[in-house]
Amino acid sequence: MPHKYKSLLWEESTFNPVSVYQPIREQIGLSLRHIEKNLWLIDTLNALNKFFSAKLFLKGGTCVQSYLPLNMQRFSDDLDFNIGIHDPELLKNMIGDINTKLKEFKKADDIYGKFIFRSTDTKIGYTTFYRIVPTKLGLKLHLKEMREIIPGETIKVQINFKHEIPAFKSIEKEYCSFIYLSPDLKEKVKFTHLSPEDLIADKILATAKYEEIGFGRERFKDVFDIGMLLKYHDVDFNMVYRKLEYISDKSNIQVERLIEASINNQKKMKNKLVLSLAGFNALLCRNVRFNEDSWLNFCDKSIEKIKSLLK
């Protein structure tokens, strides 16, 4: 299917599986799809940076990777943000304004490049959008909003509108991705990131198995992200504690219980996830892949550092 959509950030020649994707793949071991999707993810970040009319705070796993060495990252396939606006309908209108501007600049057509509203969850406070982008890899796409299967890929964008404080500390920096290991990719996007301390607190909360309030999940990516931030950053644990304290006040659960719940859950996960290392390693750059011993050691070091939060 022909399309008019062009990237807002990259030259058309960037989207070449042979001359661009393959050399990056040889360096880091990730798939061609991971590389292409990361190009579009950064293009989407650029579109939001240029045209969204309110301040967004990048968070989540994609934000975590931006703080890590380029060859020590994992693939993260979506964009998560906090915002100081608490009206989801206003967010929908603001995203609609982006679509108008993208079309004016001929950076979106009737299918590709624009943002599509998917859902709003008022309980957890998220509004979700998808952006359809082209692919050079023969991938097929069928969204419920589409009547036909088309060539393409999606970039998921989630905006959390419930936080009274979008970030305890934010950092303005260029987004850093494994694709920049290619000397030919020079276009950068500067964006507001949550601090490593904010991110660690969020990930501790995500892994705090606490059924009464619905916290806690068992995902490799959370354990990896916590451990890597602790490994590569001189973390201010007082700030991490203050953010967890703020969250605990809102949820009426003692901060120590949240930390202990995260530690206990990570202890369980470290052994459970050994059986799935091959699948997880496929999402990691080659230099950071684990065997059983290195994974268990990585988890133990991370857990010991988190224990320092218990006063």
Summarised one tens digit per residue, pLDDT across range 19-37 is 999 999 999 999 999 999 9
Determine contact, residues 39/77, Cβ cutoff 8 Å: no
- In which domain, by residue range, is 148 found? 1-194
| Structure confidence by residue, pLDDT tens digits, 172-185 | 999 999 999 999 99
Q: Domain check: are 154 and 218 in the same one?
A: no
Kindly report the CATH number assigned to the domain that includes residue 226: 1.20.58
Structure token digits, residue 182:
């290619």
Question: Same structural domain for residues 146 and 222?
Answer: no
Q: Do 184 and 243 lie in a common domain?
A: no
How many domains does one find in the chain?
2
* 113 and 211 inside one domain: no
> Which helix (H) or strand (E) segment is 249 a member of?
helix 237-251
**Backbone angles phi and psi of 46, in degrees to 5:** -65, -40
- The reply to whether 176 and 199 lie within a common domain is no
| Percentage with pLDDT > 90 across the chain | 76
pLDDT tens for each residue of 125-168: 999 999 999 999 999 887 776 677 888 999 999 999 998 788 99
Boundary of a domain, candidates 194, 214, 235: 194
Q: Hey, what are 71's tokens?
A: 């060859």
65 and 79 fall within a common domain: yes
Last residue of a domain, one of 171, 194, 217: 194
Question: Beta partners for 147?
Answer: none
Residues 296 and 238 in one domain: yes
**DSSP element (H, E) containing 133:** strand 126-133
Query: At which of 179, 194, 209 does a domain end?
Result: 194
Distance CA 95, CA 93 (A): 5
Please give the torsion angle defined by the CA atoms of residues 73, 98, 9 and 112, in that order, rounded to the nearest 10 degrees: 90
Q: Which of the 8 DSSP states describes residue 21? A: I
pLDDT digits (tens, 9 = 90+) for 242-254: 999 998 887 778 8
Based on the domain organization, do 90 and 114 belong to the same domain?
Answer: yes
pTM for this model (two decimals): 0.94
Mean pLDDT, residues 74-96: 96
